[in-house]
Amino acid sequence: MSAREETARHHILTVLVENKFGVLSRVAGLFSRRGYNIYSLAVSPTEDERFSRMTVVVDAESSPIEQITKQLNKLIPVIKIVELGPDEGVERELMLATVKAGPETRSQVTELASIFEARIVDVGFDAMTIMVAGSPARLDAMSDLLAPFGILELQRTGRIALPRLARQPGRLRAVRTRTA
Amino acid sequence: MKLTGAQALIKSLEMQGVEVMFGLPGGAILPVYDPLIESSIRHVLVRHEQGAGHMAEGYAHATGRPGVAMVTSGPAATNIVTPLCDAYMDSIPLVVITGQVAYTSIGTDAFQEADTVGITMPVTKHNWLVTDAADIPRIVREAFHVATTGRPGPVLVDVPKDVANAAMDWYWPESVELPGYKPNTKGHAKQIKEAARLINSARRPVIYAGGGILKARAAEALRALAELADVHVVTTLMARGAFPDSHPLCLGMPGMHGNYTAITAMQRADLLIALGARFDDRVTGKVSAFAPEAKVIHVDVDPAELGKVRRPDVPIVGDARLVVEELVKALRAEQAKHGKPDLADWDRQIDEWRAQYPLRYEQPEGGTIKPQYCVEALRDHTPDDTIVVAGVGQHQMWTSQYWRFEHPYTWVNSGGLGTMGFAVPAAIGAKVGKPERMVWAVDGDGCFQMTAQELVTASAERIPVKVAILNNAYLGMVRQWQELFYEERYSEVYLSPDLPDYVKWAEAMGCVGMRVDTPEDVVPTIEKANEIDDRPVVIDFRTDYREKVYPMVAAGDTNDNVILGPEFGEGGR
């Protein structure tokens, strides 16, 4: 599946939840028992310590997104859900990749990293670890290009997202907001 | 005022107006049972924690108030999972308190430790693990609020032993603050107007009344709507009694074992007015072929039900009573403007179906007792407002079909989860809630054996429920499916009519036990049972094991294919 097709199927829900123990388990449990597929999930505290924000990327083909948000809204610790369709949010993701980089390929890998504005965060005898942040598509491209060198380990955070801001004053954003 | 967590818990329950709770003590909950001695709350000591949960459910069904159960940690908590799940499926308000090992021991596999909050997460509306005694009043207040508002449901509060023993400063919270919980009860005015317009322009409308009508105390509003619009009403298994069976507009139960007219009227309708119903698979049959020509107005307090199974043309989120009352006003305005539609053809069609395909069975004189005959005899020889409670299976369907429900809250059963063994404890709970009313459990022999020991509780606590066992010596509904769909290959369904000896068993539990073998003895024995008011009564009715529940729509089939049964001749279709 190409990155573009994937993006069309994937919907992003940014879910504001109470910052209490067990909330992740409630959300994850809901997804599994209702048969919804999570593509990626990122959880972190927000500017207000009472709340956390979950960025859930769901496969909209596994179940209608409307049903998923309605069921999520029934969870008591869920405060607010913002659904971001393709192009409705700013999405970023972080990737760490350990790539084979012996004396003969090290400069090529370094060059590639600099094209992607990636940072080399660790260097070993014959490998280096590269960190890159960006849109998911950009990370896909980077990992494709690193693959021929030999990727030893790779980890991505899953994406986080916030709604796109208005370009003009006083206009409603094309974002559907549902409050529990 | 300094209190222990345990004292605060009992005091909080008193503040919530709890009059009775069902439970069984044990290690981790010991501190909470101590202040119970001085409390005004009546405690019914059960013989198994599942019984406590079902009693609390029966109490909630009959009274509309939340049922409260309290048990200890570990195995006690897991024993009450079934009632929690049952209450979750049927939207019954339940508050369950469980003991937990000391907070400092959680996660160490301590004695009788179970992850109760984790285990019950999928079967409760919400649950809480109390980590600080100071939180107890707030959490109890929140628990009752969540259980009883919006779409009602079960909640659980898990109380570690050291938290129950810890000291706290007593307070009672003024209000509940749950930023993520704000049920919407008032329907959208524009949608209600649109619904009224649809109702007034339909030619074949049917009201599809579900359990939400009862939860919302909306029976009167429903009647006003049906009579104003002259629209027939089907009452689902969870809504029996929400609309009087004797009313000319009542079509009775739809669905897999519904009557032909109720099923077919929905199937041919051009408008379904779904009120507090959830398009359960037992009602719809094959969803893609269900009521194919009908537009749908769907009223439910749970927004997730709208569009979950069938996409409504007019979705209305709101409390069934508030919405239906507004709908009556809107419909009156609509009728004043455009007049009332002529539904005569549709009414005539419905009357034809009713005349042609009534519920039918035959009780031969001197033959074996037909279970339907037992239900009819009970119906005709008990007061109009008797609360009837069923387990799950054939007897449940026959009771729902043949009873004449005239009042709301007279029917208690396990619909969504289909919990065998529900009847005896639920009947006890109903009787505790409504002691002035006669309570009859109609049970199967298979169901009875699952929870019968709670009759010991009933005897000890002087809760005079009556139990009619329709004893066909089989797991009857399973037998019926094996007969019809597995070529009469009967696998593990035979139970024996006299092992156990139900009369002796009843007597051993402090009840009056009676056996009935012939149709002639059915009525006199029921009358004898009705006279007894100082202890529970169990009647073992020996019924015909060959009898099957009809009409029937086979699982997964469309509601166009109603099997009427042998009384209607070849194939019964």
The residues on A that touch B, with CB distances below 8 Å, are 17-18, 22, 25-26, 29, 33, 64, 66-67, 70-71, 73-79, 179-180
Residue of A nearest to B182 (CA): A180
For residue B178, which residues of chain A lie inside 8 Å, CB to CB?
A: 76
Active site (annotated) includes residue B405: no
Q: What is the mean pLDDT of chain B?
A: 97
Q: Which of A68, A74, A81 would best serve as a mutation to test chain B binding (most B beta carbons within 10 A)?
A: A74
Residue of B nearest to A80 (CA): B180
Residue of B nearest to A18 (CA): B180
Tell me: pLDDT of A180 over 50. no
- The answer to whether B64 and B218 have CB atoms below 8 angstroms apart is no
What mean pLDDT comes out for the span B15-34? 98
Cβ contacts of A103 within 8 Å, gap of 6 or more:
A126
**B53: closest CA among B88, B11, B101, B27?**
B88
- pLDDT at residue B570, rounded to an integer: 56
For residue A79, which residues of chain B lie inside 8 Å, CB to CB?
A: 179-180
Cβ contacts of B320 within 8 Å, gap of 6 or more:
B212, B213, B215, B216, B218, B221, B222, B275, B276, B299, B300, B301
Spell out the domains of chain A, with CATH numbers in brackets: 3-88 (3.30.70.260), 90-160 (3.30.70.1150)
Distance CA B173, CA B177 (A): 10
For residue A67, which residues of chain B lie inside 8 Å, CB to CB?
A: 304, 307-308
**B293: closest CA among B264, B260, B315?**
B264
Distance CA B197, CA B497 (A): 57
A130: amino acid identity, one letter? I
User: Closest approach of chain B CAs to the CA of A40, in angstroms?
Assistant: 22
Tell me the per-residue pLDDT of A21-32, one tens digit each, with 9 for 90 and over. 899 999 999 999
CB-based contact B122 A33, cutoff 8 Å:
yes
pLDDT band at A166 (very low <50, low <70, confident <90, very high): confident
Residue of A nearest to B120 (CA): A26
pLDDT band at A1 (very low <50, low <70, confident <90, very high): very low
Spell out the domains of chain B, with CATH numbers in brackets: 2-169 (3.40.50.970), 189-356 (3.40.50.1220), 371-550 (3.40.50.970)
Tell me: pLDDT of B13 over 80. yes
Tell me: pLDDT of B39 over 60. yes
Q: Which of A16, A70, A75 would best serve as a mutation to test chain B binding (most B beta carbons within 10 A)?
A: A70
Helix (H, G, I), strand (E, B) or coil at B346: helix
CB-based contact A70 B303, cutoff 8 Å:
yes
Q: Which of B308, B310, B311, B317 would best serve as a mutation to test chain A binding (most A beta carbons within 10 A)?
A: B308
CB-based contact A33 B146, cutoff 8 Å:
no
Tell me the per-residue pLDDT of A86-106, one tens digit each, with 9 for 90 and over. 778 888 999 999 999 999 999
Q: Which residue has the higher pLDDT, A36 or B171?
A: B171
Tell me the per-residue pLDDT of B455-501, one tens digit each, with 9 for 90 and over. 999 999 999 999 999 999 999 999 999 999 999 999 999 999 999 99
Whether the full predicted model's pTM is greater than 0.90, yes or no, is yes
Cβ contacts of B501 within 8 Å, gap of 6 or more:
none
